[in-house]
Structure formats: C-alpha cells, structure tokens
Amino acid sequence: MKKPLPPPLSEQIIWLTGASSGIGAALLHGLSKRCQWLIISARNSDRLQQLAEPHPNVVALSADVTSRDAMQAVAADIAARFGRIDTLIANAGSCEYLDVRQFDSALVKRVIDTNVYGLVNSLEAALPLIRNSQRGYLVAVSSSVTYLALPQAQAYGASKAAVRYFMEAMRADLASEHIDVSVVSPGFVKTPLTDRNRFRMPMRISANVAAEAIIKGLQRRPWEIHFPRRFTWLLQLLGCLPADLRLALTRRAATRLPTSPQKQPD
C-alpha cells in the first residue's frame, strides 16, 4: 500500500500531555493556533482549564500519566468526541537528582514511573486512536542528557534513555502501519523544572523557542528533533569520545556540582 501523506497541522487532532506548565504550556499556545483540535492533559485540572479557556479548539482532560486507568479514561473521552487522534505528544515528565551518599530507590522509582511508565500508559491509551488516523504520529519528549551520562542524573538520564530506546523500537515496529515516531531531545529550557536547578545551565533557551523548534520538527517528522543545535551537537560529540576521556570529563563535572543540585520545592 502506498504511504499516505501526513495530514497538515491545520487538519490534525493532537493530544498533548504535560500541558499545564513549561514546554507543554508553550506548545499549547503554539499548536492551538495551528491545529484543528488540541486535547491537553496533566494532573493540575484548574490550571489546564485556565489555559484551555481562551482557545475554542482546546479540550482539557486531566489525568496522571502514571495511572493506566486515568489515561484509558482520557482516551475513551477522546474516542467518543473525535474518534481519532493524528498526533500524540508525550511531553509529561519530571526530574529529580540523586545524591549517591543518600541513595534513594524511592526517588528513582518516582522518576521512572512518571517518565517511563507514564510514556507507556500514554502510548497504550493513544495507539487505538492513532490507528484511526490516515497517518498517525507518536512523539515522546526525551532529553539531550541521553548523549552523555551526567553526574547525579542517574534516575532522570536512565528514564530518558529508556524513552529513546522504547521509541526507536516503536518506530521500527510501526513503520509497516505508516505510523511515524519521533523523539524530542531538548538542551536546557527555562521552565519550572529547570528553575529548581542550582547549577549553571549553558545555552538555556526559553520555553517558547523550544516549542517553536518542536512544532517545526513536527511538520518534517524526523527520527529526532533536537535543539539548541550548538548545545546538542556538542553533547553528541562528547558522547562519542572514548570511555576513558568521557569519564574523566564527567568525573570532573561531578566535583564541581553542588551536592544538592536541585532546590527543594516550596
């Protein structure tokens, strides 16, 4: 069967998770102007309603990505209203850094639950709807942290590496169904997630600039949408160094980081 053309953004029904803040909220503003319908989800339902209110084509359906039932309920609601989605943007995520002197498996589990099982629940809920599109598209937000194992990022980096692997395998398996798959690998973006960091974040960009880079990428559907390029290329290059050199670099970085790199939430 000939591969159908992807529908233009203006005809697409898009489901965006993690839309209540940061990159997701910026994507909401950018996408609502361009797509036909945008379904937004996150846990904070008041904030979602507030964000959706000015846009007649935005529907807010709150859900915790770590709950399979909640994600299935959102999918059932979307099925009843629209019967399909054309694009899923699995953007919901969280970041916590590990202090190895107080090794904390509960912290690791929290991060992996949100970033990995959250993605898995989102894919399971979205796939039947995506299969009703003429050419569906699955997008997951990973991170440029996957290019190089960084100190204190054991939980976050491992979760985002799992996202990358999972989506690459999905891309292979879904190609015969003409479903496209991309990962997004941002560098540092100014959002509530990074506002908590107490270390220097080189080349940090605004959430609006990140959202525009993602929207531009959505129209081409490459395997990976990464930005800002100068930063992601540099990390990719460092990631290709022989292991001894790479480890010497990251060992040095480890000695420079504050022992608690993240401010505690208020």
Instruction: State the minimum distance, in angstroms, from the CB of residue 147 to ligand NAP.
Output: 11
Binders in 34-73 for ligand NAP, by CB under 6 A: 42-44, 64-66
Are 185 and 224 in contact by the 8 Å Cβ rule? The answer is yes
Query: 167: closest CA among 89, 113, 235?
Result: 89
**Can you tell me the distance from the alpha carbon of 130 to that of 62, in angstroms, rounded to the nearest whole number?**
20
Task: Kindly tell me which of 44 and 50 has the beta carbon lying closer to ligand NAP.
Answer: 44
Stretch that binds ligand NAP, among 18-26, 52-60, 223-231, 236-244 (CB under 6 A): 18-26
Selected from 12, 32, 91, 182, the binder of ligand NAP by CB under 6 A is 91
Please state whether beta strands 58-60 and 87-90 pair in parallel, antiparallel, or not at all (unpaired).
unpaired
Selected from 72, 94, 154, 250, the binder of ligand NAP by CB under 6 A is 94
Catalytic site includes residue 156 = yes
Binders in 142-201 for ligand NAP, by CB under 6 A: 143, 186, 188-189, 191-194
Instruction: State the minimum distance, in angstroms, from the CB of residue 196 to ligand NAP.
Output: 9
Task: Kindly tell me which of 50 and 219 has the beta carbon lying closer to ligand NAP.
Answer: 50
Catalytic annotation, residues: 156
Q: Which residues bind ligand NAP (CB under 6 A)?
A: 17-24, 42-44, 64-66, 91-95, 114, 118, 141, 143, 186, 188-189, 191-194
